Structure 1
Amino acid sequence: MSGRRGAPRRGGRRPDRRRAARGASVVGRRYEVEVGPIAHGGHCVARVPDGDATRVVFVRHALPGEHVVVELTEGTEGDRFWRGDAVRVLSASPDRVAAPCPVAGPGLCGGCDFQHVTLTRQRELKAEVVREQLRRIAGLDRDQPEPLVRDLVVEPVPGDVDGLRWRTRQRYVELPDGRRGMRKHRSHEVVPVDDCLLEAASGPSYRVREHAFEVADGGFWQVHPGAPEALVGAVLDALAPRPGESALDLFAGVGLFSRFLLDAVGPEGRAAAVEGDPVASGLSRRNCPGIDTTAGDVAEVLREEYPGHWDLVVLDPPRTGAKRAVVEQVVARSPRAVAHVACDPAALARDVSIFAEHGYRLAGLRAFDLFPMTHHVECVALLEPADRAARQRTTS
C-alpha cells in the first residue's frame, strides 16, 4: 500500500483550499433549511434562497431529513455553492446521537464528520455515497442493473471500540503552551485536544496472518488495526488466485498483497510488485522473498517492463486513483481479474469508467468501515473482461 494513500493524517498541515473571492463574502449568514441527501465529503446538500433562485449549500453536522439552522462558513456571492455548519437542530433525525468527543461539532476539531450519527447510519450513508458516485461518474445504473451496487453494505471490521480508539498512528499540532491540538475543518486554525477519541491505545501491528512485515518509520500502513486482514481477505476472495498464475501488484507499498499473492501462485507462478517509493519498494523485496520488484512511477514502469499477459492485477493507488495511464497499461496485459483497492469513491468510479471503455466491467464490490466517525470508506472492486462477467451473471 502506497505511502501516499489512506485517509488524510488528521492534525497535519493542509493546503488552504479556499477559492479566490468572487464577490462579497456570505460567511456568517444564517438560514433555516430542510437537509437533503448525503454528499461525498462528509456533508449533506441543502438549498437556500438566493434572489429569484436557490443556492446549494454543503452542510456539515447535519443528517438527511433534518430541519436545521445553517451558518455559512465559506463562500462569496459569486460562487456556485456555499459551505456551512448546522449550528442549531430544529427537528432531529432519529439517527442523531450526542457526539462522544467534546471537541466534535461546528467550529471545533475538523477530524470527524459523523460523531453525531449512529454507527449503523454512518455506514448506510457511506454506502449511499459509493452508490451515488458509481452511478453518476461510472454510469452503473445504466450498465450494471443487477444488485451489485444497489445492495452494497459497508462492513464493520474488528479493532475499534464502538467506532472509537482505532487510529494506531496519530499526529497532533504542537501548541506554543506545550499542549497539542487538531485543526478545524478546511482551516489552519487549531483546537486544543487533550485526548482524541479515535487514537488507539497502542500502535500498529505489522503482522497479518502468518506473515510479519517490515515498515519504515513514518511509512504507510493502514491505521485501523483490522484493515490489513480485511483487505487481504477481500482481495484474495475477489481474485481467487490459482497455483501457476502470474500476478502484478501495483502501488504495492511494502508488499502486503504481494506476500499473499506469492503464496497463492506458488513456486510455479510469478509475482511482481511496482511501487513509487523506493524505500517501501526495497522493504517489499525483504517482506516477500522471491518477488520481482521495481521502484518507480507505475505507469512509466509498466510502459517499459512486465510485458505480455498477466493473469491477475492488484491496484492499490493513492487517493486520486490509478488514472488512465495506469489503467490502459493494465488492460493491455489482458488480466482475467483486477482487484482495485480504493479509499475514495469518486476516484474509484473514474477508474471503473476507464476500465469500461476497454471492455472491463465491475463484477464484484465490497466496502469496509476502516475510518469510523469520518466520511472515509474503503472499497475493494473486482473488474473482469465484460464477456467473462456476462457469462458469470448468466450462470449465477
Structure 2
Amino acid sequence: MGCCDRTHDGSFDVPRLDIERLAYGGDAIAHLEDGRTAFVSGGVPGDSALVDIVEDKGRFVRARVTEVLQPSAHRVVAPCPYFGACGGCTWQHIDYAEQLRAKRQELVDALQRVGKIADAERLVDECVASDQQYGYRNKIELVLDPNDKRPRLGYHRAGSHEVVAVDSCLLLPKRHAKAPTSLGGALRYIAGESDLGIERVAIRCAAHTRDVEVALWTSAGPFPRAAAAKTLGQAMQMTSLVRVMTKEGNRAKLAGVEVLAGKGHWRERLEGRTYAVSAPSFFQVNSAVAEKMVRLVTEMLAPDGSDRVLDLYAGAGTFTLPLAELAGEVVAVEAAGSAVKDLRRNLEENAAWADVVGGDAAREIGALGRFDLVLVDPPRAGLHAAVVEQLARTRPRALVYVSCDPATLARDTARLAEAGLTLTRAVPVDLFPQTFHVETVALFEPAPST
C-alpha cells in the first residue's frame, strides 16, 4: 500500500508502494492507500519502492519506480545496456522462475475473468520454459529514425515512436548479436545523403541451419540494388538478401519482393523437417520452443492415421507438415499469399501432402465439410465470431487452439463453450522470455451430453 498527495507543482508524491504482482502488458501492480490500483513500470513482486505517478486515470494510476527501497527476492540485474529505454524485453529485471509463474497466472486470470472458467486453475498446466532466456530469437525487426540524417538501426521506445539506436541485441544468437552495428553502418554508407526509403530491417538467423536472411522493407521506387547487395554482403555474412516493397499510402500492403542476393528465402529446421520461409511470411521466432509446441499440438490432437484434419491459419506449415505425416487427410487454410506459396513448397520438399486452400478462414471453412480434428493458430485478434460458429458445425472430437494473446483466447473460450466445445486443458508456453507475452496451446472437446 502507499499514500498519494498532490504537490505544489501539480505532480504527485507517493513515498512508498509495495509491489504485489505482475500484470499482462508488462507493468507491476500495487495499491494506493485509497484502494486504487497502481500500474507500475519497473516494479517486481515483493519490491518496496518509491514511485512517480505519471498519469491519474481516476479509478487507477500509472506510475514508474524511481528508487527501490527494499528489493524483491525476484529482482535481478538486467544485462542489456538498453533496458529501460528500448521498448522490448521489459521483464529483464525479473528472475526467470517468476516470469514463468506470472505468465501462467496471466492465463488463469484471463480465463476466469473473460472466459468465465471457474476452474481455470485446475485446467492450466505449468508454463513450458524456454531452454534459452537470451539469444533465442530467430528473427528481430529494427527500425530507422527518420529524423536522423545519419540514421542508425534500433527499436522504438516503450509507448513512443521515438527510436532508441542499438549496437547489438541480446535476443539474437551471440554470433549475430552485433548485426545492428554492421548493417547500420553499411546502410549509412549506401545512403550517403539520400533517403533509401527503408521502413524497417528484418534479420532472420536460423537456430538449426546456417541460414541468415536480411530483409529491407522499403517503399516502392528506385533503389541502389547492386550497391546494397555488395555493401551489405561485405558487412555481414548472409544466405539471402531481399527487398520487400510496400504500397504507397498503405504499408500493410505489399507491392512486391526483390531478391538482391542469395536464395531469396530463409530455411529453418523443426523436429527434422525443413521449412523454407519467404520474408513476408510468419514463422515462430523461437525455434527450440516451436518444436515443443509441435509436440504439444500433435499430442493433444492425437490423429490416428485415418482422421480428417483442418489446419486453420496454417502459415508456412509449422503444424501442417507433422499433421500430414500422422493424419489421413489434412486441409490447410491460409490467407497470406506468400505463406501459401511457402506452405506448398514445404509440403513438396518434405514429401508430405495436404490440400492447401488459399483464402480467408471465415469465407472458406463453410464449404470444406466435416472434420475429425481441428487446429487453429489465429493472429492476435483471435477468431472471428463467424469462424467459431462454423467450426462448431464441423463437429470435431478435438480442437486445439494455439494462441498468442490470453484475452482473445479467453473470449473465444466462452464463444466455443456456447457452441458446444469445452476447454479441457491449457498449456502456457514461453516463446518470448524477458517479455510479458505468452503463447498458449489449448485443447477443446465436445461438452458432455446432459
Same fold, judged at TM 0.5 (above)? yes
Report the count of equivalent residues. Answer: 345
Which residue does the alignment assign to 2:357? 294
Contact in 2 for aligned 1:248/1:271 (Cα 8 Å): yes
Aligned equivalents of 1:323, 1:381: Cα separation in 2: 17
Contact in 2 for aligned 1:34/1:67 (Cα 8 Å): yes
Which residue does the alignment assign to 1:60? 41
Which residue does the alignment assign to 1:174? 144
Question: Counterpart of 1:364 in 2: which secondary structure?
Answer: strand
Change (3 A) 1:28 1:314: farther
Aligned equivalents of 2:31, 2:10: Cα separation in 1: 16
Q: 1:153 aligns with which of 123, 126, 139?
A: 126
Q: Tell me how far 1:342 sits from its aligned partner.
A: 0.6
Q: 2:339 aligns with which of 277, 280, 286?
A: 280
- Stretch deviating more after TM superposition (343-352 or 280-289): 280-289
2:312 is equivalent to residue 250 of structure 1: yes
Question: Counterpart of 1:98 in 2: which secondary structure?
Answer: coil
2:78 is equivalent to residue 95 of structure 1: no
* Structure 2 gaps, min length 5: 1-8, 177-204, 209-267
Aligned equivalents of 1:261, 1:212: Cα separation in 2: 15
Question: Counterpart of 1:155 in 2: which secondary structure?
Answer: coil
Q: Tell me how far 1:385 sits from its aligned partner.
A: 0.6
Q: Tell me how far 1:133 sits from its aligned partner.
A: 0.7
Q: Tell me how far 1:301 sits from its aligned partner.
A: 1.2
The residue type equivalent to 2:88 in the other structure is G
Q: Tell me how far 1:28 sits from its aligned partner.
A: 5.9
Q: Tell me how far 1:156 sits from its aligned partner.
A: 1.3
Aligned equivalents of 1:379, 1:356: Cα separation in 2: 18
Aligned equivalents of 1:377, 1:27: Cα separation in 2: 38
Question: Counterpart of 1:122 in 2: which secondary structure?
Answer: helix
Which residue does the alignment assign to 1:116? 93
Q: Tell me how far 1:27 sits from its aligned partner.
A: 9.6
Which residue does the alignment assign to 1:271? 330
Change (3 A) 1:212 1:146: same
Question: Counterpart of 1:138 in 2: which secondary structure?
Answer: coil
Q: 1:319 aligns with which of 358, 380, 388?
A: 380
Change (3 A) 1:362 1:29: same
Q: Tell me how far 1:381 sits from its aligned partner.
A: 0.4
Change (3 A) 1:58 1:113: same
Aligned equivalents of 2:319, 2:334: Cα separation in 1: 12
Aligned equivalents of 2:292, 2:18: Cα separation in 1: 38
Question: Counterpart of 1:172 in 2: which secondary structure?
Answer: strand
Change (3 A) 1:199 1:349: same
Aligned equivalents of 2:316, 2:11: Cα separation in 1: 47
Aligned equivalents of 2:442, 2:343: Cα separation in 1: 23
Aligned equivalents of 1:39, 1:332: Cα separation in 2: 36
* Structure 1 gaps, min length 5: 1-25, 391-396
Which residue does the alignment assign to 1:18? none
Which residue does the alignment assign to 2:422? 361
Q: Tell me how far 1:219 sits from its aligned partner.
A: 1.8
Aligned equivalents of 1:371, 1:70: Cα separation in 2: 28
Aligned equivalents of 2:122, 2:435: Cα separation in 1: 26
Q: Percent identity?
A: 36
Deviating beyond 3 angstroms after TM superposition, the runs of 4 or more aligned structure 1 residues are 26-30, 77-82
The residue type equivalent to 1:261 in the other structure is L
2:64 is equivalent to residue 85 of structure 1: yes
Which residue does the alignment assign to 1:235? 297
More strand by share: 2
Which residue does the alignment assign to 1:45? 29
Which residue does the alignment assign to 2:164? 191
- How big is the alpha-carbon RMSD for the aligned residues of Structure 1 and Structure 2? 2.1
Q: Tell me how far 1:339 sits from its aligned partner.
A: 0.7
Which residue does the alignment assign to 1:14? none
The residue type equivalent to 1:282 in the other structure is K
Question: Counterpart of 1:116 in 2: which secondary structure?
Answer: coil
Q: Tell me how far 1:273 sits from its aligned partner.
A: 0.6
